[in-house]
Amino acid sequence: MKSTFMTDYDHTVGEKLRHFRSISGIEYKRIYDETSWNKKLPDAGEYPYTRGIYKDMYRARLWTRRQQSGFGTPEESNELLKFLFKVGQTGINIDSDIAGKLGLDPDYPLARADVGLQGTSMCTYEDMLALFKDIPIEKISSTLIFPPPSSAVIMSQYLLMADERGIRVHDLSGTIMNCPFTQLVGPTFQANTAFFPIDLALKIGLDLIEYLLKTVPRWNVLNVNSRNIRECGVNAVQEAAFAISLGMDYVRRLLERGLDVDSFGPRIGFFCAVHLDIFEEVAKFRAMRRIWARVMKEMFKAKDERSMRFRCAVQTSSLTFTAQEPMNNIVRAAIQTLTAVLSGVQSVDTTCYDEAYCLPTEKAQKLAIRTQQIIAYETGVTKVVDPLGGSYFLETLTDEMEEKIWEAIKEIEKKGGFIECFKKGIIEQELNEARYKLANELENGDLAIVGVNIFRSEDSASDIELFEHSPDMQKKRIEYSVQYKKRPGRELTYKALKDLYLFTKRGGQGNFVIPIMEAVRSGATLQEICDAMREALDYQIPC
């Protein structure tokens, strides 16, 4: 019996597409002309920023090359960072392992097998020092990929490190992701709520925002992870709508705290996916810029233009990668990187071709950076601002995407906003429906993937070199965290942890960053700090 999974092409009659819909299901017309779109656009750098958030875009400054990095021990990750700078990375993007994101130390039994696998293992202040050894944080911006409550612990470590090195807070620049709904693996319910009460995580995130606004003038205080939303299988419209609705929820909560919209607006950013439908993606970014600008100006009454600018980092999609013929992923990543640049984003992480299997090798990392450099310096697309602007097709699609995204935002708003929908399981349900739909499209061939459901070779097993962790890495990290907590003279640590416990127990009146910072200063580990808060609320975690 012939497999229904494979779409077969008869090479004698010529190949033809099965349909003309975008990945998100928008029906493309044969051709677009002035009957589809016939308008004037404001200049780049002008509200609502359709053509870009800055007047000169890449003519003034190229995007930041910011490869997500981190694996194994902090010492190994420090070596990796140095390697990436040597080949041309221009910003830091530190990812921790899952334990670090969930507020667990390496010796926690359930965490042991995952230590250092997906990112660097971090739990102590000394880990932070090891990770950033010899790296000039007063010159290079760092993105720290942590949701609250870990974000408050890691940010405290970073600030204490800067202080110890004699660096002024004014010279620090970077981003703390700081979103408890999207950072882990996208907004799936169980993943984000099992290890910490979500309401308290949100409060700590907001506390950290308030703290940073007052103390670190150039730090970006929140980054809504639109990419992880997309990677759960939703389409471009849903990605944009979910991310912007969540952004709106944050703005409302910060306004409720009595903060001025222009005090935090310029310091909120987004982190988006770049998928494979080139024009749909470019249209998505342009539509997101317009919507965010209007939301901030019209809904939240921002006056400062910087509050209205949709600043956006991207990472090319991992979901589009295939384990079959992994070298094909080099092409996919290059196309997506070009798409990001044509969209006018602020920083790019090009996913490495081997990430369909494991963490990238240095060879793959270097190729990803080279991809960006070739696009920047050889193709010419950076020499003109918004080079696709004015295309009948793109402008029509931008309008259409904008309309669809607005509609989806209104639906979420009607149900109480993103956070409410997350808590009620509505988001979870939408993700699952999107996943089933995606799987169906793959099965029936509506979504074509070369090497998987079309043009598949059965001998397509990987012949690429794969990354391998050093064999004793996990054991070393587990032993380190056990020994660290057995050190003598930890009375001050226990006192600081007790203070944090009592602070939480009494309802957390005030800013959580203060007692968390004290606990970090006293030598408490990441999990000790999170446990103090968990215990105060009698919050049971999986074990």
Partner 1 sequence: MSRGKIIVAKLGLDGHTNGIRIVSKWLQDAGFEVVYMGLYNTPEKVIKAMLQEDADILGLSFLEGSHMYYAEKLRELAIRYGIEGRKIVFGGVIPPDDVEKLKALGISEVFLPGTSKEKIISTIRTLLGG
Catalog residues that contact partner 1 under the rule CB under 8 A.
3-5, 98-99, 102, 104, 109-114, 117-118, 184-185, 188, 190-191, 194, 231-233, 319, 322-324, 356-359, 432, 435-436, 438-439, 443, 452, 461-462, 466, 469, 542-543
Q: Which is nearer to partner 1, 264 or 353 (CB)?
A: 353
Q: Which is nearer to partner 1, 71 or 501 (CB)?
A: 71
Q: Is the peptide bond before 266 cis (omega within 30 degrees of 0)?
A: no
d(CA 176, CA 185): 17
What stretches of 194-308 show up as alpha helix (H) in DSSP? Answer: 198-215, 226-230, 236-256, 261-264, 278-294, 305-308
For the chain, helix (H) and strand (E) counts, in that order, are 21, 10
User: What's the closest the beta carbon of residue 233 comes to partner 1, in angstroms?
Assistant: 6
Q: Which is nearer to partner 1, 109 or 166 (CB)?
A: 109
Q: Which is nearer to partner 1, 83 or 357 (CB)?
A: 357
Q: What is the CA radius of gyration of the chain?
A: 23
d(CA 485, CA 483): 5
Per DSSP, the residues of 393-450 read: HHHHHHHHHHHHHHHHHHHHHHTT-HHHHHHHTHHHHHHHHHHHHHHHHHHHTSS--B
User: What's the closest the beta carbon of residue 3 comes to partner 1, in angstroms?
Assistant: 6
User: What's the closest the beta carbon of residue 361 comes to partner 1, in angstroms?
Assistant: 12
Q: Which is nearer to partner 1, 114 or 411 (CB)?
A: 114
Angle (deg, nearest 10), helices 236-256 and 426-444? 170
Structure tokens at 181: 């709904």
Q: Which is nearer to partner 1, 359 or 385 (CB)?
A: 359
Query: What is the CB-side half-sphere exposure of residue 384 using CA atoms within 13 A?
Result: 9
User: What's the closest the beta carbon of residue 84 comes to partner 1, in angstroms?
Assistant: 21
Q: With contact defined as beta carbons under 8 Å apart, do 466 and 361 qualify?
A: yes
Q: Which is nearer to partner 1, 103 or 174 (CB)?
A: 103
Residues in the chain: 543
Q: Which is nearer to partner 1, 135 or 191 (CB)?
A: 191
User: What's the closest the beta carbon of residue 117 comes to partner 1, in angstroms?
Assistant: 5
Other CB atoms within a 10 A radius of the CB of residue 144 amount to: 23
Other CB atoms within a 10 A radius of the CB of residue 471 amount to: 8
User: What's the closest the beta carbon of residue 441 comes to partner 1, in angstroms?
Assistant: 12
Q: Which is nearer to partner 1, 94 or 216 (CB)?
A: 94
d(CA 243, CA 302): 19
User: What's the closest the beta carbon of residue 77 comes to partner 1, in angstroms?
Assistant: 16
d(CA 397, CA 109): 50
Structure tokens at 432: 């699952």
Q: Which is nearer to partner 1, 322 or 347 (CB)?
A: 322
User: What's the closest the beta carbon of residue 358 comes to partner 1, in angstroms?
Assistant: 6
User: What's the closest the beta carbon of residue 105 comes to partner 1, in angstroms?
Assistant: 12
User: What's the closest the beta carbon of residue 230 comes to partner 1, in angstroms?
Assistant: 11
Cβ-proximal residues to 463 (8 Å cutoff; 6+ apart), any chain: none
d(CA 131, CA 276): 34
CA angle at residue 338 from 336 to 339, to 5 degrees? 60
